[in-house]
């Protein structure tokens, strides 16, 4: 027997903190008991009490979240959506201006490099989404350093090498790839594009690029796996849950579904203060939620903090053998920041490390991955360990010259985050594909110009990295500076 549909009027009766229902994807849920536990706070749910919350829910939660985690007796059943009153949303002047900017967007063909996508994305993305993607920790010094560090490395090209044919394919964790970069894990894909991470999956397939799937994706893990084509390789990025039984289930499921690498994020026992994100959340929600509730606005939340309370700050080296016991996937530590820890990773049997500071989003004044690479490889070589572990770098990679610099210094490959998010947010799948193609074009030309026919021919003699360790004031990075949004004026509050 099919269940009788609820009406919008019935759901609307449950609109208080003592009795709170919400509609998500045409079904009603009683979330009253869940209100105090919601990682993003109860206020945001109460804003949608008795109403359709799908639009707000979608970017931040995989679609199966409620089905999976809310007890079955709280599932109130399907709703006849034709009876749900849709409140007419006033289109704010700021949103009208954004729509106008979207109409005037440059053609995709006019984007010639990855920074072009960033410029367009900043103009056309919703402010909150831009805030979440572009923000970094504290004063965003490390964010900028990630790019400027590459600018302190110069080339020593070889001449008169026959470079008629160049081949920059390589392997990463045993997978053959066309070019030595992968799409790194970035949370909340639906903030930038309605379809979310599957857009990155489909574009990666077109270019034979590996995708790292984030724990905190907006799409469900299975949706992202299902979007891949048969030969496509995906890795799993893992935030370790305090409840190890949940972590075990996630890892086992990923392996069963065919993931080829487990990247455990080790630089985020607590998520960093990304103040741009926090500030936007403040103005976005503060004024609305304050209305009528009499509560003071909680400005400790941004999108980042809202989604991360389950992460275990107790994760430590002692846990690594346990991970090795529950999976055959190669284990890679993501977020290693000093050579001593690379050596320890070799000792405990990790297949790789990613030298990364999380795109500058965690510890401000953490050094760039590329600098840590230059510190690491000579030590590994001296100890004869360079073949024992694959070393990856991410953070600030925007040009093929950056990829080449990392490979010259001994990296196996590099991860790229924001540029693909920006390309996706501005132009969808075609944008991501173009961004990847631009990198391939740049790679071919720069391999020729540096005098290398294959990845194996790239070596440390082809770069001058003497300035890399000097943290004095380097060249002014105008492009990165434009990413930083200074605080303008006091937040708008209703009186």
Catalytic residues: 239, 267, 358
Residue 187 within binding range of ligand FMN, rule CB under 6 A: yes
Residue 397 within binding range of ligand FMN, rule CB under 6 A: yes
CA separation for the pair 404, 412 (Å, rounded): 11
Residue 465 within binding range of ligand FMN, rule CB under 6 A: no
Residue 28 within binding range of ligand FMN, rule CB under 6 A: no
CA separation for the pair 127, 130 (Å, rounded): 5
**Residue of 186, 297, 337, 425 interacting with ligand FMN (CB under 6 A):** 186
What is the number of other CB atoms lying within 10 angstroms of the CB of residue 99? 11
Residue 342 within binding range of ligand FMN, rule CB under 6 A: no
Terminal-to-terminal C-alpha distance of the chain: 53
Residue 394 within binding range of ligand FMN, rule CB under 6 A: yes
Residue closest to ligand FMN, measured at CB: 417
Residue 216 within binding range of ligand FMN, rule CB under 6 A: yes
Output the smallest distance, CB 424 to ligand FMN, in A: 11
Tokens of 197: 């991470």
SS3 content of the chain, % helix, strand, coil (to 5): 45, 15, 45
Output DSSP code: residue 412: S
Residue 184 within binding range of ligand FMN, rule CB under 6 A: yes
CB 53 within 8 A of CB 46: no
Between 52 and 277, name the residue whose CB sits nearer to ligand FMN: 277
Partner residues linked to 97 by β-bridges: none
CB 409 within 8 A of CB 466: no
Between 20 and 421, name the residue whose CB sits nearer to ligand FMN: 421
By rule CB under 6 A, what count of residues binds ligand FMN? Answer: 24
Tell me the backbone φ, ψ of residue 79, rounded to 5 degrees. -115, 140
**Residue of 32, 128, 142, 146 interacting with ligand FMN (CB under 6 A):** 146
**Residue of 42, 204, 356, 425 interacting with ligand FMN (CB under 6 A):** 356
**Residue of 376, 418, 435, 462 interacting with ligand FMN (CB under 6 A):** 418
Residue span binding ligand FMN (CB under 6 A) among the ranges 54-62, 253-261, 393-401, 451-459: 393-401
CA separation for the pair 244, 285 (Å, rounded): 34
DSSP letter string, 191-240? GT-TTTTHHHHHHHHHHT--EEEPTT-SS-HHHHHHTS-TT--EEEEEPP
Residue span binding ligand FMN (CB under 6 A) among the ranges 72-80, 154-162, 356-364, 482-490: 356-364
CA atoms within 13 A on the CB side of 171: 5
Grouping H, G, I as helix, E, B as strand and the rest as coil, residue 280 is helix
Residue span binding ligand FMN (CB under 6 A) among the ranges 253-261, 289-297, 409-417, 474-482: 409-417
Between 42 and 201, name the residue whose CB sits nearer to ligand FMN: 201
Residue span binding ligand FMN (CB under 6 A) among the ranges 34-42, 123-131, 352-360, 440-448: 352-360
Which residues of this protein are in contact with ligand FMN, per CB under 6 A?
A: 132-133, 146, 184-187, 214, 216, 237, 265, 334, 356, 358-359, 361, 394-397, 415-418
């Amino acid at each position: 027997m099919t269940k009788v549909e609820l009406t919008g009027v019935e759901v609307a009766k449950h609109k208080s903190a003592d009795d709170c229902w919400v509609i998500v994807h045409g079904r009603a849920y009683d979330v009253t008991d869940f209100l105090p536990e919601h990682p993003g706070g109860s206020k945001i749910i109460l804003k949608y009490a008795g109403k359709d919350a799908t639009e707000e829910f979608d970017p931040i939660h995989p679609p199966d979240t409620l089905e999976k985690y809310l007890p079955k007796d709280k599932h109130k059943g399907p709703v006849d959506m034709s009876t749900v009153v849709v409140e007419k949303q006033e289109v704010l002047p700021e949103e009208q201006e954004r729509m106008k900017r979207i109409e005037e967007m440059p053609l995709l063909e006019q984007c010639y490099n990855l920074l072009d996508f960033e410029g367009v994305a900043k103009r056309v993305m919703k402010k909150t989404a831009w805030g979440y993607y572009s923000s970094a920790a504290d004063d965003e010094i490390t964010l900028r350093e990630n790019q400027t560090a590459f600018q302190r490395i110069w080339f020593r090209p070889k001449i008169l090498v026959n470079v008629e044919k160049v081949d920059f394919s390589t392997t990463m964790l045993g997978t053959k790839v066309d070019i030595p970069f992968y799409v790194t894990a970035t949370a909340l894909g639906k903030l930038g594009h309605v379809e979310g991470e599957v857009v990155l999956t489909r574009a990666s397939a077109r270019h034979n690029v590996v995708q790292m799937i984030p724990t905190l994706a907006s799409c469900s893990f299975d949706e992202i796996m299902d979007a891949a084509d048969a030969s496509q390789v995906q890795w799993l990025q893992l935030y370790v849950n305090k409840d190890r039984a949940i972590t075990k289930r996630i890892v086992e499921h990923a392996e069963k579904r065919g993931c080829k690498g487990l990247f455990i994020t080790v630089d985020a026992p607590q998520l960093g203060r990304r103040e741009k994100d926090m500030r936007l959340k403040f103005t976005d929600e503060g004024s609305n939620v304050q209305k009528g509730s009499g509560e003071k606005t909680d400005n400790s939340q941004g999108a980042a903090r809202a989604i991360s309370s389950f992460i275990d700050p107790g994760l430590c080296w002692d846990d690594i053998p346990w991970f090795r016991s529950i999976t055959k996937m190669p284990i890679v530590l993501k977020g290693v920041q000093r050579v001593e820890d690379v050596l320890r990773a070799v000792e405990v049997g990790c297949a790789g490390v990613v030298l990364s500071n999380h795109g500058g989003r965690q510890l401000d004044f953490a050094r760039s991955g590329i600098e840590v690479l230059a510190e690491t490889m000579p030590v590994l070589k001296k100890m004869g360990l360079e073949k024992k572990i694959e070393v990856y770098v991410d953070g600030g990679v925007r040009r093929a010259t950056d990829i080449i610099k990392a490979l010259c210094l001994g990296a196996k490959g590099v991860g790229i985050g924001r540029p693909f998010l920006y390309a996706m947010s501005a132009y969808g799948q075609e944008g991501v594909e173009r961004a990847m193609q631009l990198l391939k074009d740049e790679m071919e030309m720069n391999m020729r110009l540096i005098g290398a026919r294959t990845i194996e021919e790239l070596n440390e003699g082809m770069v001058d990295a003497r300035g890399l360790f000097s943290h004095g004031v380097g060249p002014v990075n105008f492009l990165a500076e434009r990413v930083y949004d200074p605080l303008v004026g006091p937040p708008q509050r209703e009186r």
